[in-house]
Chain A
Amino acid sequence: MAYERYLMKNVGVPNSRSIETYRGGGGYAGAAKALKMKPDEIVELVKKANLRGRGGAGFPAGVKWSFLPPDREITYLCVNADESEPPTFSNRVLMENDPHMLLEGILIAGYATRTTVAYLYMRCEFTELFHIMQKAVDEAYAAGYFGKDILGTGYALDCYIHRGAGAYVCGEETGLIESLEGKRGWPRIKPPFPAVEGAFRKPTVVNNVETLACLPHILTRGLDWWLSLGTEDSKGPHMYCVSGPVNRPGCYEAPLGLSCRELIYGEDFGAGMRDGKKVKAVFPGGLSMGVLRGDMFPKNPTDEVDPNADYDELDCKLDFDDPRRYGLMGLGTAALVVVPEDADIRAVTVNVARFFALESCGQCTQCREGTTWMYKVAERIRDGAGRSFDLDVLAEVTQNMGMMPGLSICGLSDGAAWPIGMLVQKFRGEFERHIGAQAPDAAAQRIREINPAAYELPILGARPMAAEAAATVEK
C-alpha cells in the first residue's frame, strides 16, 4: 500500500527547491507558529512526540535539548549533514529536493534551544548539494527567516554552511564539533556531553538533517497526527533507502515499522530483485548495524533447506527496537543494501572491513589496529588463503573492540566490529565451504609469500619458525 508522503512531499514537484514553491505548500507556517510559542513549550512538545534522532543512535531529540544548562548564554546548533555511512542517502534526497524544509527545521530547533548561530556541517562530496543549499540559505536570509529580528519577534539566528573535507568520523557528534573548530575530526571523550560543553566550549546541540525536517510537520500537523504514525516506541514517518540490485532502488517514505521483505519486494518500494535473483544478505541499517540473512536457514542436520520449517530474517521490522531481536545493533539509518545470491560473501566482508579500516580516525588503538587486522584477515580469506582459525580470530577481534567493552571513545569501532562479527556468525558455513575448497597448502604458501624470511633465510634460524607456522596452519 502507498503511504502519504510528508517529508518527501515535494520530491518530484517542479522547482521544488525554491522558497516560493515551499511557501506555496504551507512552508514556514510551522516556524511562524513556533516563534509565537515559548522555547520551552517547543521542547516539551518534541519530548511528548518522542522524536527519536534519525542519525543512527535513535536518541530522543527533545531529551537531548533538555540537557542544555538552563542558565546558558550562548548555544550553538550543529546540523549533521555529513552523511557518509554506506548506503545511506536519505539526507541527500531531502536536501536536494526540499532544502527549505531543513532550513525551517533549523529555525524551529534554533528557537527552541535559544541558539544564535547554526552550522550546517555538510560533507564535501555533496558538491551540487552545497550550491543548492547555499542558494536556499541566501533565499531564506532575503525572506527574513534568518538574520536579525526574524518575523518581527526579535529573535536572531545566523545559519552558515560549513563544508567538511572527507572524513566519515566527522559524522560522530563530537568529531563534527572538533572538525568545525578547525582540528582533525577526532571524537572527544564524553562526558562532558556536547549539550554542556560542545563547539567552542559552549553548550551545543547536534541534530541530524532528517530529525530537524520532522519538526515543521510536528508543529503544523500537531501531536495527534504524529503519534498516529509508526509503532509504539518509534513514532513518525521515516525515510528508507533501498539500494543494490533491486528493480527500483531509491528513497521511500513510510511510517516506522516496515519490514525488510516489504521494502525489497513491495511494489511501492524496491519492487523485487533484478533478474529474479534471490537475496543472500541484507544490511538493513547502514553497514555498521549488522547483517540479516536473506537465504533460508537450514535447521536440519543434513543442511537441506525445508521451506515449510526453515526461515529467513527478512521479516525484521525496521523500527528502533525490532532489529535488536535479530542480533543487529539497532535501526541505524534504515538504509538497506541488498546482497544478491551470486555475490561472494568474502568480497562483501572485505568491502565492509576496508571501509572501516580506511575511515577509522586512528585515535584509539584497538580501533586503528583492529579494523586494519580485520581487513587483512578478510583479504586473506578472499584471496583463497584462509584458515578456519581465521574466522575465530575475526570473532575474537570483534569482541574486543568498541565502546561496549569500554575501550574506545566513539562508536565507530562498535560499528566496525558488529557487521564483521555478524557476517562471520551468520555465514560461517559459507566461509568454511570456501576455505575447504581451496588448495590444501594455500595458507602456508601465502605465509611464505608475505614473509619469505621465515622460510628462505637460514640466518634467521628459519627451520623452527617454519615448522611452527606450518603446524599452526595445519591446525
Chain B
Amino acid sequence: MSWQTIDRKTVAEDKLGPALSEAVKAKIRTFFDRFPTKRAAMLPALHIAQDAIGYVSLQAMHGIAELLEVSPAAVMDVATFYTHFWMHPKGEKVIVVCRSLTCELMGGKTLLEHIKEKLGIGEHETTPDGKYSLMTEECLAQCDHGPCMLINEKLHKCVRPEDLGRILADPDNDKLDIPRSDLFDAPLEKPEES
C-alpha cells in the first residue's frame, strides 16, 4: 500500500498533537458514501477534526491520511491551502473580521484596530487566556451590513467600535438562534466510565 509512509524522522510527541478518536473516525467514514472516491471526504474530515481537536494536529493529519488512503503530505497540502484550518491551537472563539472594500469604506479598519487593541493580540494570535483568536477574511458576503465580523458561527452586523465591549463581554456571542445541523461537527464524546 503505497499511501502508507515510513516514519523516517521521529517527531517529538508534544509536536504531534492529539490523535483522532474512534468516534471522530467513524463520523468521517459516514461521508464516504457521498462521493465516488474516499479522498473527496477530505474537507469534511478536516472540518470534523478541527472541531474535535481545536486545530488540525499532525497526528490528526496522519489519521485522516490513513482513513482516506492518501499520503499524510497530501492531507497537509490541502489543510495548509485553505485559510479556515489552523495548524496550531486556537482560542475558544475565533473572531473573523471582514476587510473587503465595502467594509473598509464603512469603517472596518477602525473596527479591526479596536479589536486588536481591546484583546491585545494581532492577526492569527490568541489571547493569553485562550478565549479569543483573531483573523481577517477578505469578504464575508455581508456587504449590506458592513462592517461585519464572525465570532465562531455567529455573524455580527454593522459593528460600531462602541458596540465592541458589549459584544465581547457577552458569553453567548457565538450562539446561533436558529436550529443547527451537526453534520460537520465532531461527535459528542461519551463520558468515560471510571
Interface residues of A (CB under 8 A from B): 83-89, 91-92, 117, 123-128, 130-132, 134-135, 138, 158, 160-168, 179-185, 200, 202, 241-245, 249-251, 283, 287, 335, 337, 339-340, 343, 347-348, 351-352, 355, 358-359, 361
Neighbour of A165 across the interface among B39, B40, B43, B150, CB < 8 A? B43
Main secondary structure of the interface of A (DSSP, over half): mixed
Chain B residues in 8 Å Cβ range of A123: 141
Contact A283 B144 (CB under 8 A): no
Instruction: List the 8 closest pairs (A to B, CB-CB), nearest first.
Output: A182-B42, A165-B82, A86-B100, A87-B143, A243-B143, A184-B81, A134-B181, A127-B153
Contact B77 A87 (CB under 8 A): no
With A165-B85, A181-B39, A182-B68 known as contacts, the answer to whether A85 contacts B144 (CB < 8 A) is no
With A127-B153, A244-B105, A352-B101 known as contacts, the answer to whether A182 contacts B37 (CB < 8 A) is yes
Q: How far is the CB of B20 from chain A (nearest CB, A)?
A: 17
Q: How far is the CB of B185 from chain A (nearest CB, A)?
A: 11
B106 interface residue (CB < 8 Å to A): yes
Contact A182 B43 (CB under 8 A): yes
User: Which residues of B from 67 to 87 have beta carbons under 8 Å from A?
Assistant: 68, 70, 74, 77-78, 81-85
Chain A residues in 8 Å Cβ range of B47: 124, 163, 165
Contact B181 A166 (CB under 8 A): no
Chain A residues in 8 Å Cβ range of B99: 351
**Bound form: Cα–Cα A335–B101 in Å:** 12
**Bound form: Cα–Cα A163–B31 in Å:** 12
23 contacts between A and B (CB under 8 A): A86-B100, A87-B102, A87-B139, A88-B143, A89-B144, A125-B137, A125-B150, A130-B181, A131-B176, A131-B178, A135-B181, A164-B82, A164-B84, A165-B43, A165-B82, A166-B83, A182-B68, A244-B105, A339-B101, A340-B105, A352-B101, A358-B138, A361-B81
Chain B residues in 8 Å Cβ range of A165: 43, 46-47, 82-85
Contact A86 B138 (CB under 8 A): yes
User: Which residues of B from 37 to 75 have beta carbons under 8 Å from A?
Assistant: 37, 39-44, 46-47, 68, 70, 74
- Write the B137-151 contact mask toward A (1 if CB under 8 angstroms, else 0): 111111111100010
**Bound form: Cα–Cα A391–B100 in Å:** 23
Q: Give the interface residue-count category, chain B.
A: 35 or more
**Bound form: Cα–Cα A182–B141 in Å:** 24
- Write the B165-194 contact mask toward A (1 if CB under 8 angstroms, else 0): 000000000001011110110000000000
Chain A residues in 8 Å Cβ range of B142: 89, 92
Q: Can you name the residue of chain A whose Cβ is closest to the Cβ of B31?
A: A160
Chain B residues in 8 Å Cβ range of A183: 39, 42, 74, 77-78
Contact B143 A86 (CB under 8 A): yes
**Bound form: Cα–Cα A183–B177 in Å:** 34
Sample of 5 more A-B contacts, CB < 8 Å, known A135-B179, A202-B36, A251-B144: A165-B43, A165-B83, A167-B82, A182-B78, A184-B78
Neighbour of B143 across the interface among A164, A202, A241, A347, CB < 8 A? A241
Chain B residues in 8 Å Cβ range of A88: 139, 141, 143
Chain B residues in 8 Å Cβ range of A167: 81-83
Contact B68 A283 (CB under 8 A): no
Q: Can you name the residue of chain B whose Cβ is closest to the Cβ of A245?
A: B105
Chain B residues in 8 Å Cβ range of A242: 144
**Bound form: Cα–Cα A78–B77 in Å:** 23
Neighbour of B155 across the interface among A83, A127, A138, CB < 8 A? A127
Chain B residues in 8 Å Cβ range of A127: 150, 152-155, 176
Q: Can you name the residue of chain A whose Cβ is closest to the Cβ of B108?
A: A351
Chain B residues in 8 Å Cβ range of A250: 144
Chain A residues in 8 Å Cβ range of B152: 127
Contact A200 B40 (CB under 8 A): yes
Q: How far is the CB of B124 from chain A (nearest CB, A)?
A: 13
**Bound form: Cα–Cα A250–B144 in Å:** 5
Chain A residues in 8 Å Cβ range of B178: 128, 131-132
B115 interface residue (CB < 8 Å to A): no
Q: Can you name the residue of chain A whose Cβ is closest to the Cβ of B100?
A: A86
B34 interface residue (CB < 8 Å to A): yes
B104 interface residue (CB < 8 Å to A): yes
Q: Can you name the residue of chain B whose Cβ is closest to the Cβ of A359?
A: B138
Q: How far is the CB of B161 from chain A (nearest CB, A)?
A: 17
Chain A residues in 8 Å Cβ range of B74: 183
Chain B residues in 8 Å Cβ range of A245: 105-106
Chain A residues in 8 Å Cβ range of B102: 86-87, 243-244, 337
**Bound form: Cα–Cα A125–B84 in Å:** 9
B134 interface residue (CB < 8 Å to A): no
Q: How far is the CB of B78 from chain A (nearest CB, A)?
A: 6
- Write the B119-144 contact mask toward A (1 if CB under 8 angstroms, else 0): 00000000000000000011111111
Q: Can you name the residue of chain A whose Cβ is closest to the Cβ of B43?
A: A165
Contact A160 B34 (CB under 8 A): yes
Contact A179 B43 (CB under 8 A): yes
**Bound form: Cα–Cα A372–B73 in Å:** 27
**Bound form: Cα–Cα A167–B183 in Å:** 21
Contact A200 B36 (CB under 8 A): yes
